[in-house]
């Protein structure tokens, strides 16, 4: 039981990478608070896992306060936070509206900031903890048509390092995870139609698209005491996509 005694709050946990992390956490003994805006799916998964569910729009400061308070009253002080919730938006720089840009920044970047800030007091009382911020390979390098998404994921990478430096004295570790092409509904929803991303897998060293479980296992490692001396670092889960460069 790698997370025995841990109390974890996971955002965007109703499906995809967040749901996979919730499953792994529950399997390893954590008490898990799933949060999302997809209430029906979130409640169903929570019931299946023996976990709890709380509605949370991560861009809303008041809802963060409510989610943290509910987690503490239900389980006790939080020892793990997984900032997983995020959205994707495709458009050329010149076609990206301010509203679209701010929506992505509000969820991906501001949501991560609010989450980290919201759990510090509780984690400090608990004697320390682990914050895992889900960034992306777009937090390591740019990609055309993803100006807002890339900006938000670079910001998460930077905020992670600042938080690690500030919170280490309280025993709180902060790391970022950088998934590549993972088989989740995100790309299809951003484009408004189902998308087969399997051809992308042929471009990476491992010759396959990643699965949510591939990311969840890295998140689990960072949540556990096995990563006790890891903080302020980037953990890439991309099948080798960032092992090369454009000229290859």
**Burial zone of 41 (CB within 10 Å; 0-12 exposed, 13-18 middle, 19+ buried):** middle
- Strand, helix or coil for residue 85: coil
Q: How many whole angstroms separate alpha carbon 69 and alpha carbon 49?
A: 21
Annotation says 53 is catalytic? no
Q: How many whole angstroms separate alpha carbon 56 and alpha carbon 33?
A: 11
Residue that is written with structure tokens 């088989």 in the block? 183
Q: Cβ atoms within 10 A of the Cβ of 50, count?
A: 9
Q: How many whole angstroms separate alpha carbon 91 and alpha carbon 191?
A: 10
Residues contacting 149, CB < 8 A, separation 6+: 87, 88, 89, 104, 108, 136, 138
* The dihedral sign for the CA sequence 59, 179, 47, 120: negative
Q: Which one is catalytic: 53, 101, 145, 149?
A: 149
Residues contacting 107, CB < 8 A, separation 6+: 58, 59, 85, 86, 87, 152
CA 174 to centroid of chain Cα atoms: 12
DSSP 8-state code for residue 182: B
- Residues annotated as catalytic (active site), given as ranges: 149
């Amino acid at each position: 039981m790698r997370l025995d005694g841990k109390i974890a709050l996971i955002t965007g946990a109703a499906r995809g990478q967040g749901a996979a992390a919730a499953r792994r956490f529950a399997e390893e003994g954590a008490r898990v608070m799933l949060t999302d805006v997809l209430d029906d799916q979130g409640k169903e998964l929570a019931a299946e896992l023996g976990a709890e569910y709380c509605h949370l729009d991560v861009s809303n400061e008041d809802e963060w306060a409510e989610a943290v308070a509910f987690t503490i009253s239900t389980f006790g002080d939080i020892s793990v936070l997984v900032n997983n919730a995020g959205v994707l938006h495709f458009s050329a720089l010149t076609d990206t509206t301010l509203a679209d840009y701010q929506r992505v920044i509000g969820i991906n970047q501001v949501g991560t900031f609010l989450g980290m800030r919201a759990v510090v007091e509780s984690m400090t009382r608990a004697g320390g903890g682990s914050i895992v911020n889900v960034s992306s390979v777009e937090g390591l390098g740019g990609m055309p048509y993803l100006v807002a998404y890339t900006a938000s994921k670079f910001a998460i990478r930077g905020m992670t390092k600042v938080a690690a430096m500030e919170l280490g004295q309280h025993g709180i570790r902060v790391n970022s995870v950088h998934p590549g092409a993972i088989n989740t509904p995100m790309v299809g929803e951003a484009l408004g139609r189902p998308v087969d991303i399997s051809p992308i897998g042929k471009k990476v060293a491992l010759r396959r698209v990643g699965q949510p479980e591939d990311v969840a296992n890295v998140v689990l490692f960072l949540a556990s005491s096995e990563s006790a001396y890891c903080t302020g670092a980037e953990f890439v889960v991309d099948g080798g996509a960032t092992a090369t460069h454009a000229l290859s």
